[in-house]
Amino acid sequence: MRSTSVEVKPLRHIAIIMDGNNRWAKRQGRSGIAGHRVGVERIRDVLNACRREGIEALTLFAFSSENWRRPPKEVEALMSLFYNYLKKEARELSKESVRLRVIGSRERFSPKLLRAIEEAESIAADGEATLTIAADYGGCWDITQAAQQVAQDVLDGRLSPSDICEEHLTSHLSTQGLPSLDLLIRTGGEYRISNFLLWQAAYAELFFSPVLWPEFGPAELKQAVDCFRSRERRFGKTSDQLAREAKRA
């Protein structure tokens, strides 16, 4: 058993790969989109649970760059669910002091959905907590677009190639302004991160839950949070170093 961390690290930012909607629906003898509808309802429960835990930022993987390969009818239904969620939840998020952000490429969204995204972000523009929805998002895309912006800074004379550092790239990622990612959860029993927050997850703790997303709730979130808090986060240091630093603090 791993020892409890000597250096207490706050848990500020959780990201979740919401996997298992289709499998849940099949087990229920229902259509795949029914699983996605139930999955949307879980967002509110998990967001509220995060806030009770004092977590500032929740980032959800709603639709990946690769999900466009799914059957057209399923993609259309997912876009409709996304649109309805934005129209329904933006004002509630604002009332609850939750800021809404949508990250990812927007080039393939319809004008109607683009307007809904912009309107929802405008309505829920401020808050003590942040809900980020990653839609048409991929970690490789995120790093690529950040690199393109840094390259443009060089071309425009604002930056020298020799001065490029991690901080420059990080400042151009779509998650800029959010706390560093602490915990990445994937539901549904798969053990991969599927091109999600590749740069941001470099030192995040990973938690893989066998529970399908439509059944993932506050109890399952607490299990992941408790597991996170039991781990020793060394960031390249040794346990002895952390112990000595804790004594000096």
Active site residues: 19, 67
Rg of the chain over Cα atoms, rounded to whole angstroms, equals: 19
Beta carbons within 10 angstroms of residue 111's beta carbon: 7
CA distances from 128 to 41, 58, 182 (A): 22, 12, 18
Where b means 16+ CB within 10 Å and e means fewer, 7-44 reads: beeebebbbbbbbbbbbbbeeeeeebbbbbbbbbebbe
How far apart, in whole angstroms, are the C-alpha atoms of residue 210 and residue 109?
A: 32
| 3-class secondary structure per residue, 126-149 | CCCEEEEEEEEECHHHHHHHHHHH
- Sequence-distant (≥ 6) Cβ neighbours of residue 99 within 8 angstroms: 93, 124, 125, 126, 127, 129, 130, 131
Beta carbons within 10 angstroms of residue 87's beta carbon: 13
Angle at 84 between CA 55 and CA 16, to 5 degrees: 30
How far apart, in whole angstroms, are the C-alpha atoms of residue 95 and residue 110?
A: 28
How far apart, in whole angstroms, are the C-alpha atoms of residue 194 and residue 7?
A: 30
